[in-house]
Amino acid sequence: MSFLRSADVGYRRFLMTDRILDIQNLKTYFHTQEGVIRAVDGVYLSVRRRKALGIVGESGCGKSITSLSVLQVIPSPGRIVDGRVLFYPEAESDRPVDLAQLKRHGRELRRIRGKDISLVFQEPMVALSPVYTVGNQIIEALRLHEPHSKRRARELAVEMLDKVGIPNPDVMVDRYTFELSGGMRQRALIAMALVCGPKLLIADEPTTAIDVTIQAQILDLIRSLQTDMDMSVMLITHDLGVIAEMVDDIVVMYLGKVVESGSLHDIFDRASHPYTVALQRSIPRFQRRGQPLEVIRGNVPDPYTRPQGCEFAERCPKAMNRCFQDKPAMAEVGDRHSAKCFLFTDEVESAPGREANVR
Amino acid sequence: MASYIVRRVLMMIPLLVLVSGVIFIVIQLPPGDYVSRHVARLEMEGVVTHEAEIEALKRRYGLDRPVHEQYLLWVRAMLRGDFGYSFAVRRPVLSVVAERLPYSIIISVATLLFSWVVAFLVGTYTATRQYSPGDYIASFLGFLGLATPNFMLALILMWIMYSVFGFTVGGLFSPEYQDAPWTMGRVLDLLKHLIIPVIVVGTAGTAGSIRILRANLLDELNKPYVITAEAKGVPPFRRLCKYPLRVALIPFTSTVGWELPNIVSGETITAVVLSLPTVGPMLLRALVDQDMFLAGSLILFLSLLTLVGTLVSDLLLAWLDPRIRYDR
């Protein structure tokens, strides 16, 4: 009986699920004097409404730049050169807003930043200004988007600080960031991101700079706020352990491209792309105590030159001859589960514009 | 904040005592004193001097006593408001200084303001438009200003003003206003004459400050907290002013402390070239003449000015940066 009911609920939720963000062929390049860095080079991914998507990959795979590209807050000289970032504020049946088409310094994009879509950065030590109080910065975020009186905004800021688990919020609201511990700063940063009740929260490695004992608390906090506030979450991390407890869907990135995408279970139990498999093997495991940790051989290639064939071929244990000549297309390996590898397809990556990704 | 200000002001007292001691020692360092120099000059001119007369003179000014007693006498008199007597000018030091110090302060403060405003605007512009033509032009002019000696710049500007505008530079007033009472016309005349000294004295410091602000601001512009501000929807201009600029101003402000003495000492040569009635040239002459009370008082006033400048910059810093306010 109970099985039937939960299956029923699961099916209904599946039907109700629609996308809130759909990134298509996103390309963010950095034009420098030494050459062009293709940080994000044709990324397709989508975030389902009220679900959490995890983006994993090594440093330099473009996961952070992908997340910053959504709101166009890319450090200079980076800019979006191609692609679409479709945002469906209410439902997928609505007309989407293409965030990539909006002007970087324009009013339209500014109205979405911090209001509909919020960002939490990886380093709480430096992501808040040291010369203003926590309250000042939260109240600013609130009053930019909602016409509250100063007093009301302050009350709401205190409420939000309380909600993210900061003790004595009415005192802490007047503290400067250097008076707070790392974990408290990250909580304050999350409070600032959530104060306008965003529909999508993008968290860029929110636990990297934090003490391991606090990491779990912060993740639990994000998870519970996601349900409380009916948000979608896009979580960027290099830590597969973090992702396992947090997300519904996973996208694995390598060298500015998505190499595999699927549900949490697809990626963990049925990892297909050799890179995903290698990534999982390199997680330290209790059962393999005493044995040397497996690592992915080789290094991420030089950012200015991209291999002619598959980006991962050089480091891939299963590389075949054609892997060094052609780039594989994204291939379906299961329901809503795809991988970009010649093990699963003979097709070569086609010219940009093709839409084949997580649904 | 209040306790910080009080502490900072109280700290000036021991500093001032220390400075006065150093000043006195330095002035006493050259052999002889004003009376013996005066006597030697009179004798060279064939004037007969009487031993008793000299002794009386020395006793009158306390020159026959040991150095530390002279110092205490000097300090005690100053606390009573008596700054001694200038041998060379034959007038009380206070009246001599009162005549010239205001002009020095006017030039210093005007230079500082000019330097700040220009450095602030140009520094912000060059940092936010890095590698633009405007940045290159401003940087080129800045380096030129840094490298040109003050007196040279003074001469060039005087020549340009005279040959292009037919405007005689020199002094702080036109002849018709020299001894006139303070009227609107005289104030305007003063302002007109201030332009060149302010530019000449301020150029090097301004150029330095531009570089400092530009470098600091460039460091701050791509800091994560600026991106955070952008990500929460703060409009560009407000974001620039509230976030990176405020932090970049912190090191910029702390330079005021050493910028002020630079201006004061840099002013001397300029004042000689432009014949400005400021304390710079007078101090030079007092030191050469061993006119000890005048020299001592002038240096003390300038030191006080420097201490006040440092105080102002420290207070500004504490206001700008809570990390300083809450420290200690």
SS3 per residue for chain B: CHHHHHHHHHCHHHHHHHHHHHHHHHHHCCCCCHHHHHHHHHHHCCCCCCHHHHHHHHHHCCCCCCHHHHHHHHHHHHHCCCCCEECCCCEEHHHHHHHHHHHHHHHHHHHHHHHHHHHHHHHHHHHHCCCCHHHHHHHHHHHHHHHCCHHHHHHHHHHHHHHHHCCCCCCCCCHHHCCCCCCHHHHHHHHHHHHHHHHHHHHHHHHHHHHHHHHHHHHHHCCHHHHHHHHCCCCHHHHHHHHHHHHHHHHHHHCHHHHHHHHHHHHHHHHHHCCCCCHHHHHHHHHHHCCHHHHHHHHHHHHHHHHHHHHHHHHHHHHHCHHHHHCC
State the pLDDT at residue A174: 93
Distance from C-alpha of A75 to C-alpha of A32, rounded to nearest angstrom: 12
Beta-carbon contacts below 8 Å between A and B: 77
Minimal Cα distance from B218: which residue of A?
A: A76
User: Does B322 sit within 8 Å of A127, measured CB to CB?
Assistant: no
Interface test with B, best of A129, A145, A205 (most B CBs within 10 A): A129
User: Does A144 sit within 8 Å of B234, measured CB to CB?
Assistant: yes
Q: What is the ipTM of this complex?
A: 0.82
Distance from C-alpha of A250 to C-alpha of A54, rounded to nearest angstrom: 5
Taking 70 as the pLDDT cut, the residues of chain B under it are: 169, 258, 261, 265-266, 326-328
Q: Of A324, A248, A281, A236, which Cα lies nearest the Cα of A59?
A: A236
* Cβ burial A269-283 (10 Å sphere, 16+ → b, else e): eebbbbbbbbbbeee
Distance from C-alpha of A271 to C-alpha of B209, rounded to nearest angstrom: 58
User: Does A127 sit within 8 Å of B225, measured CB to CB?
Assistant: yes
State the pLDDT at residue A10: 45
Name the pairing type of β-strands A232-237 and A200-204: parallel
Among A73, A112, A130, beta carbon nearest to B227: A73
State the pLDDT at residue A17: 58
State the pLDDT at residue A264: 92
Beta strands across the sheet bearing A249-254: A117-120, A200-204, A232-237, A52-56, A249-254, A257-263, A337-339, A331-334
User: Does A126 sit within 8 Å of B223, measured CB to CB?
Assistant: yes
User: Does A105 sit within 8 Å of B234, measured CB to CB?
Assistant: no
User: Does A179 sit within 8 Å of B228, measured CB to CB?
Assistant: no
Residues of A in contact with B321 (CB under 8 A): 130-131
User: Does B224 sit within 8 Å of A144, measured CB to CB?
Assistant: no
User: Does B232 sit within 8 Å of A144, measured CB to CB?
Assistant: yes
Residues of A in contact with B235 (CB under 8 A): 110
Among B231, B236, B326, beta carbon nearest to A114: B231
Q: Is the peptide bond before A77 cis (omega within 30 degrees of 0)?
A: yes
- What is the nearest CA distance from A40 to chain B, expressed in angstroms? 19
State the pLDDT at residue B184: 84
Digits of tens for pLDDT over chain A (359 positions)? 344 444 444 444 444 558 899 999 999 999 988 888 899 999 999 999 999 999 998 888 899 999 999 999 998 889 999 999 999 988 777 788 999 999 988 999 999 999 999 999 888 778 999 899 999 999 999 999 999 999 999 999 999 999 888 999 999 999 998 899 888 998 999 999 999 999 999 999 888 777 788 888 888 889 988 998 899 999 998 888 778 888 999 999 999 999 999 999 999 888 899 999 988 888 777 777 777 777 777 777 777 777 888 888 888 888 888 899 888 988 888 888 999 999 998 888 775 444 444 33
B247 inside 8 A of chain A by CB: yes
Tokens 């002020």 — which residue? B260
The CATH fold of domain B103-278: MetI-like fold (1.10.3720)
Q: Which amino acid is at A27?
A: K
In chain B, where are the structural domains located?
A: 103-278
State the pLDDT at residue B327: 57
- What is the nearest CA distance from B216 to chain A, expressed in angstroms? 15
Distance from C-alpha of A70 to C-alpha of A26, rounded to nearest angstrom: 9
CA distances from A137 to A176, B233, B324 (A): 10, 12, 20
Structure tokens at A102: 């909006």
User: Does A127 sit within 8 Å of B224, measured CB to CB?
Assistant: yes
State the pLDDT at residue A354: 41
Structure tokens at B264: 């004061």
> 3-class SS at A353?
coil
Minimal Cα distance from A107: which residue of B?
A: B235
Distance from C-alpha of A150 to C-alpha of A136, rounded to nearest angstrom: 10
- What is the nearest CA distance from B118 to chain A, expressed in angstroms? 25
Residues in A whose CB is inside 8 Å of some CB of B read 68, 71, 73, 75-76, 105, 110-115, 118-119, 121, 123, 126-133, 140-141, 144-145, 176, 178-179, 189, 192-193
State the pLDDT at residue B78: 85
B227 inside 8 A of chain A by CB: yes
